[in-house]
Structure 1
Amino acid sequence: MATVPAVLAPYVRSIVVYDVTFGGPGVHIGMPSTGLTFVLPIGEPLEVSWDGSPHTRTVGWSSVSGLHTSAAAVHHGGHQCGIQLSLTPAGARAIWGVPASALAGELLALADIDAALADLPERLADQPTWPRRLAALERDLVAALHRHSRPALRPEVARAMALLTRGVPVAATADDVGFSRRRLSTLVRDEVGVTPKTYQRLARFSAAHGRLRRAALDGEVSVARVAADSGYADQAHLAREWSGFAGCSPTEWLRREFPIVQATGHHDGGP
């Protein structure tokens, strides 16, 4: 995990440098979240598609996806190397000059969004070290901030999205910010491309994914505990949401992503 420069902090949630060798060719699951995903592979182009939809497969030196409700299938030949960023919805306007809603459910390359960034992958590949690649990335992203206007979210919409992320029910969120549910739905859709309820589900799922991933890295996992800590009614509820968003159960995801980790707790609650 690289440090996000202060100037980019309102727009970039995380910057991850990855250089991973697997046992052989396979498919990595790109999980849905409330962030926009921006990947810059090094050494080999990225092959990605929506899980279960091979006709959506793209191959290239950059990948941009907006909010999505199904997993991405990232195909690899046994090795992956590059930089992955998670952007806030405001980051779409600030860095690419488009609202996050315009990218919802899309798999695109940088050239499809901002021609001025189209040669960023080549410039990164020319750098011999990770620090120099990260410095080049920062320069280009800061330059993008200066190219694009950055209209701020309406305060009520920003507050509504923060409340939804914390699990406040949609009706209570609408009341808090003084909108009808219909008006709130329109404003959130216009900003991120999904309904308030879907945004809230994505936020809860993303929190559960983060907890399960951290637990897997630490050792043995209790899926039931992750479900409880993430606000799901029970493990079966988490399993249904996980299957819907990730295309597999939590324990199957663990087997695929962390084959040496054993999950504990009850069954997934699925068939």
Structure 2
Amino acid sequence: MAAVHPALSPYVRSLVAYDVSFAGPGIHIGMPSTELTWVLPLDEPLGVAWEGEPGSRRVGWTSVSGLHTRPAAVEHGLRQRGIQLALTTEGARALWGVPAAALAGHLLELGDVAPDLADLPERLAGHRSAADALPEVERALLDALRRHRRPPQRPEVTRALALLTRGVPVAATAGDVGYSRRRLTTLVRDEAGVAPKTYQRLARFARSHALMRRAALSGEVSVATVAARAGYADQAHLAREWSEMAGCSPTEWVRREFPVVQATRGAEAAG
């Protein structure tokens, strides 16, 4: 996990240079979250599709996904090197010049979203490693931030998203920011592309995903404990959400992804 430049910190949640070796070709699960995912592979174009929807497959030197409630199938060979970024909803507007709502549920290439950054893969091609390429990515992001002087996300929406992330009920969040529930739903949907309740589900799922990752690394996996700590009513509730959002149970995810987790120990690559 690389340090994020202070000017970018409201917009870039994480910046990861990854270099992962695998026993053989396979599929990595791209998990839903409250962040937008941006991947810049270095060795070969990246193939990504919504799981179970081969017609959605995109192959390219960049991959961008908006908020989504279903898993993505990310293809890998024997080795993957590249840079992965997690952007806040405000980051889409600040760095790409588009609201996150315009990207929700979509798998795209960077040129589709931000044509002014379409040459970034070429600029990264000469770097010996993903870590060496990080300064080039940072420069590109800072340049983009200066170019896209769009109106910022409304402060009340920013606060509402923060409250929803923490698990505050939708009605209480609306009251806190001074809106009716209907008005809040409109504002959140216009900014993030999902309703407040869905955003809250994504935040809870992301917490459970992070907890499962840490549990897998420690070798002490307790789905019941993860369910309680993530804010689910019970283990069955967590299982239903994982079935929809990950396409598998938490324990199946550990079995499928644990080699990836082991290989990225210390890098904390976002899944």
Which of the five TM-score ranges fits, normalised by the shorter chain? over 0.9
Give the Cα separation in 1 of the matches to 2:247 and 2:215.
21
The alpha carbon displacement at 1:131 in A equals: 4.1
Q: Does 1:216 align with 2:216?
A: yes
Identity within the alignment, %: 70
Q: Is the 8 A contact 2:94 2:152 kept in 1?
A: no
In structure 1, the residue matched to 2:157 is 157
Q: Kindly indicate whether residue 237 of structure 2 is the aligned counterpart of residue 237 of structure 1.
A: yes
Q: Equivalents in 1 of 2:259, 2:66: separation in Å? A: 29
Give the AA of the match of 1:111.
G
**1:159 shift after superposition:** 1.3
Q: In structure 2, do the counterparts of structure 1 residues 178 and 116 end up closer, same or farther at CA, with 3 Å as the change threshold?
A: same
Counterpart contact for 2:82–2:130, Cα < 8 Å: no
Which residue of structure 2 lines up, in the alignment, with residue 45 of structure 1?
Answer: 45
Deviations 1:67-97, CA, capped at 9 Å, x for gaps: 0010110011222111000000010011100
CA spacing shift, 1:260–1:132, aligned 2, 3 Å: closer
Q: CA deviation at 1:234?
A: 1.1
Q: How does 1:123-142 map to 2 (within 5 A)?
A: 123-142=123-142
SS of structure 1 residue aligned to 2:182:
helix
SS at match of 2:139: helix
AA matched with 1:53: E
Structure 2 contact 31–72 (Cα < 8 Å) conserved: yes
The residue type equivalent to 1:206 in the other structure is A
For residues 223 and 232 of structure 1, what CA distance do their matches in structure 2 show?
A: 11
Partner of 2:54: 54
Distance 1:97 1:24, change over 3 A: same
Pairwise CA RMSD: 1.4
Unaligned runs of 5+ in 1: 262-271
Instruction: Tell me if structure 1 keeps the 8 A contact 2:89–2:99.
Output: yes
Match of 2:75 in 1: 75
Deviations 1:142-164 (A, max 9, x none): 00011101422222211111111
CA distance in 2, matches of 1:29, 1:254: 11
**Residue range with higher mean Cα deviation, 33-42 or 215-224:** 215-224
- Please name the residue that 2:178 is paired with: 178
Shift of 1:259: 5.8
Aligned equivalents of 1:212, 1:51: Cα separation in 2: 21
Q: Could you tell me how far 1:178 is from its partner in structure 2?
A: 1.5
**Structure 2: segments with no counterpart, 5+ residues:** 262-271
Report 1 or 2 for greater relative contact order, CA contacts < 8 Å, sequence distance ≥ 6.
2
Q: How many equivalent pairs are there?
A: 261
> 2-side partners of 1:42 and 1:129: how far apart?
8
Structure 1 residues 21, 94: closer, same or farther in 2, change over 3 A? same
Partners of 1:111 and 1:260 lie apart in 2 by: 29
Structure 2 match to 1:265: none
**Deviation of residue 128 (structure 1)?**
2.4
Output the amino acid matched with 1:221. Answer: V
In the alignment, which residue of structure 1 is the partner of 2:168?
Answer: 168
SS in 2 for 1:221: coil
Q: TM-score, normalised by structure 1?
A: 0.93
- Cross-structure match for 1:207: 207
1:117 and 2:100 are equivalent in the alignment: no
CA distance in 2, matches of 1:136, 1:5: 13
**Is structure 2 residue 198 aligned with structure 1 residue 198?**
yes
Counterparts of 2:117 and 2:156 in 1: how far apart (Å)?
Answer: 32
Q: What SS does the corresponding residue of 1:55 show, helix, strand or coil?
A: helix
